Structure 1
Amino acid sequence: MGRTITEEGPSTVSVSLHDLQNDSVSLETLEQAFGPASLGIILVRDLPAEYLELRHKLLSYSSYLANLPEETLAKVEKPETHYSVGWSCGKETLANGRYDTLKGSYYAQPMHNPKLEAKARELYPDSVVMVSPNVWPDDATLPGFEKLFEQLCHLIVDTAALVARSCDRYGVAKLDGYRDGTLENIVRTSVSTQARLLHYFPAPPAELGDGRTDSETATDDDWCATHTDLGALTGLTSQMFVDEAAHRPVVKPNGSHHLPPLPELESHPDPKTGLWINDRTGQSTQVHIPRDCLAFQTGQTLELLTRGKFKAVPHFVRGSTSDKAGNIARNTLAVFTQPNLWTMVDETRDFATLAQSVLGATV
């Protein structure tokens, strides 16, 4: 069972959490979501009642976090992980080669199993991104941040596991020798899953000095360059827009035991701001995730496990020029469900080898 949300280009498939739980999502629906002619993304509606509150609180914390003093943020940076654990800003490069100062990220691995974490450290000591412990701001700065972060991530991973179970049904039906439970086991048991809380800063004023305007120099993927994800399924919340001039996300110097959720704008003044997917024909299609839904998009590991039946999806985030954006920030959370480092993703490579080949020194 499923329905589509009408868009320009291919449609976005939406399914109910109840249908995932009952294993009643048809194979045809899965192919519409992830197959050769798809956008490589599925929306899940009818989520648990606590989801909306968790989302609003954590995405509000994204603004509070990104506006902390530099010296406070420096305490939760981990340069030895190439800034892929804890706070990161201005360390990545975009398609045009410039350093990305337009967004800040907070990385953490939310799924824990002491025995598996010890195994990863023992077998892959040089995979610093995957085996380094999380780091968190203290509770006096961002009260309850760690608990809130992991609680929402666990809900997303639990939902991803149900999507994965449906993908396994497809694999058993369509692929010779596919082992039932392959993807669901990866999602449920991996300690390599990584979450990224994102804060896209309000667009800065143009400082060009040559008569050009923002719109003449902006690129479509100026907020996040076009890429495909490495893992199996990436869970995404809807984007949250905050007018940070009207509602300043400032943490008091002495800390606070209460940081109120920030008011959320209904939409961005520039309707083209947000997530875009390059579909199988090469066209770009904007995807809107409703607030009460989660989205799951395909990564390279899923493509390998399904032998190309489900394709990894190239996507990017389009920003806005400063004359349209004002002081509006964008917050969202992405959870990358990735196999344990020793899990084989094809006949010759484990996930550690795949990650090394794709990400190089950043692993």
Structure 2
Amino acid sequence: MGSVASEDDASTAVSVSLSELKNDTVSLETLERAFGPASLGIIIVRDLPPGYPELRHKLLSYSSYLANLPEDTLASVEKPETSYSVGWSCGKETLANGRYDTLKGSYYAQPVHDAELERKARELYPKCSEMTSPNVWPSEETLPGFEQLFENLCHIIMDTAALVARSCDRYGVAKLEDYQPGTLENVVRTSVSTKARLLHYFPPPPLRPEDERPDSAMATDDDWCATHTDLGALTGLTSQMFVDEEAHPPFAKPDESGKLPPLPELHSHPDPKTGLWIKDRSGRTTQIHIPRDCLAFQTGQALELITRGKFKAVPHFVRGTTADKGGKIARNTLAVFTQPNLWEMVDDRRDFATLAQAILGGTV
């Protein structure tokens, strides 16, 4: 099950099995408890395909290998013309306080491939390179098997997301007038705007005296990733992977199979409050624990609009730690943001491109 720990009490995130999703037996009441106005806005999916845990472990290990490549190698897979939204990005994103975010590195790619739809997106939105630019990958010599691992794991997540979306469509048909069957499932299965983000949260820098804070402030600390809501429909999340990069430096050579060996994974972080937190509808912060053999799906702003507010986008953040508690421990995870095609309507007056422009700024 997907257990959570909150400031006030302990509770449990809504959990369903993959077979329940496939058989369309998840009740509308369960969906409302997972995504509705009084919910945490997240659902845990268990009983995934047998190969999922190993694939997750391998790719999240590659996140550490990737982030520790030489600077010139990483620079070769940056795409500044996409506002660093394709390929490698680190230290390019500005936080709310105006500082550049150097605490995490990201590798972005779009896992849905359809030449005709990609051409349509480029022609209709020539200034939206953030969502229409082709993927870029490190060479096989640099990170052997990385592209294939990345896409294989993304496809498991998207296939599962499509089943969650299908259940959401059943809810929409039952609860909303003129809701079109298959709306969300079509978004997840066909949109070339879907974006995957492999994340590496770097071990914390040494603690300075001026950084010390009382423990009472730590539960709402979002220094690894600031509080925000996702832009898209459903965000698929793997469980976090903690790696002690001092004990296991991520600089290994390929093994006999030509692949980089998976890194040992810590059972948990020494600071138990480190990780993903959700801010629920009452403003209470709740920590989310995703089991390693499960996936989680949380709600974004496009989903809230498409369901006319029946399902709510969830504010969330990632709480970091300090060097005295975290040592040289890094956090790796993969998020897949299922997003409508740029021209698809999210409400009666806006397409997804307009929504993205309004929220993210820039030119679309």
Bucket of the pairwise TM-score, normalised by the shorter protein: over 0.9
Alignment correspondent of 1:353: 354
TM-score by length of 2: 0.95
Post-superposition shift, 1:136? 0.3
Asked if structure 1 preserves the Cα contact closer than 8 Å seen for 2:173 and 2:181, the reply is: yes
Post-superposition shift, 1:7? 3.7
Task: Give the Cα–Cα distance (whole angstroms) in 2 for the partners of residues 355 and 57 of structure 1.
Answer: 32
Alignment correspondent of 1:212: 210
Alignment correspondent of 1:123: 124
- Within a 5 Å distance, the mapping from 1:144-293 to structure 2 comes to 144-206=145-207, 208=208, 211-215=209-213, 220-251=221-252, 257-293=258-294
Post-superposition shift, 1:96? 2.5
Post-superposition shift, 1:164? 0.2
Post-superposition shift, 1:79? 0.6
Task: Give the Cα–Cα distance (whole angstroms) in 2 for the partners of residues 359 and 49 of structure 1.
Answer: 38
Total equivalences in the alignment: 356
Post-superposition shift, 1:95? 3.0
Alignment correspondent of 1:314: 315
What secondary structure sits across from 2:361 in the alignment? helix
Post-superposition shift, 1:144? 0.8
Runs ≥4 residues deviating over 3 A: 3-11, 213-219
AA partner of residue 52 (structure 1): P
Post-superposition shift, 1:4? 7.0
Task: Give the Cα–Cα distance (whole angstroms) in 1 for the partners of residues 225 and 144 of structure 2.
Answer: 29
Task: Give the Cα–Cα distance (whole angstroms) in 1 for the partners of residues 22 and 328 of structure 2.
Answer: 41
Task: Give the Cα–Cα distance (whole angstroms) in 1 for the partners of residues 295 and 261 of structure 2.
Answer: 23
- Within a 5 Å distance, the mapping from 1:91-130 to structure 2 comes to 91-130=92-131
Alignment correspondent of 1:327: 328
Asked if structure 1 preserves the Cα contact closer than 8 Å seen for 2:253 and 2:260, the reply is: no
Post-superposition shift, 1:361? 1.6
- 1:226–1:180: structure 2 CA closer, same or farther, 3 Å change rule? same
Q: Structure 1: which 5+ residue stretches go unaligned?
A: none
- Within a 5 Å distance, the mapping from 1:49-128 to structure 2 comes to 49-128=50-129
What secondary structure sits across from 1:72 in the alignment? helix
C-alpha root-mean-square deviation of aligned residues, in Å? 1.7
Post-superposition shift, 1:194? 0.1
Asked if structure 2 preserves the Cα contact closer than 8 Å seen for 1:214 and 1:322, the reply is: no
The percentage of aligned residue pairs carrying the same residue is: 78
Post-superposition shift, 1:251? 4.9
Greater shift, 9-18 or 70-79, is seen at: 9-18
Q: Structure 2: which 5+ residue stretches go unaligned?
A: none
Asked if structure 1 preserves the Cα contact closer than 8 Å seen for 2:3 and 2:290, the reply is: no
Task: Give the Cα–Cα distance (whole angstroms) in 2 for the partners of residues 91 and 6 of structure 1.
Answer: 32
Asked if structure 2 preserves the Cα contact closer than 8 Å seen for 1:215 and 1:321, the reply is: no
Alignment correspondent of 1:301: 302
AA partner of residue 38 (structure 2): A
AA partner of residue 135 (structure 2): N
Post-superposition shift, 1:93? 2.0
Post-superposition shift, 1:321? 1.0
Asked if structure 1 preserves the Cα contact closer than 8 Å seen for 2:63 and 2:200, the reply is: yes
Alignment correspondent of 1:136: 137
Asked if structure 1 preserves the Cα contact closer than 8 Å seen for 2:145 and 2:259, the reply is: no
What secondary structure sits across from 2:213 in the alignment? helix
Post-superposition shift, 1:98? 1.3
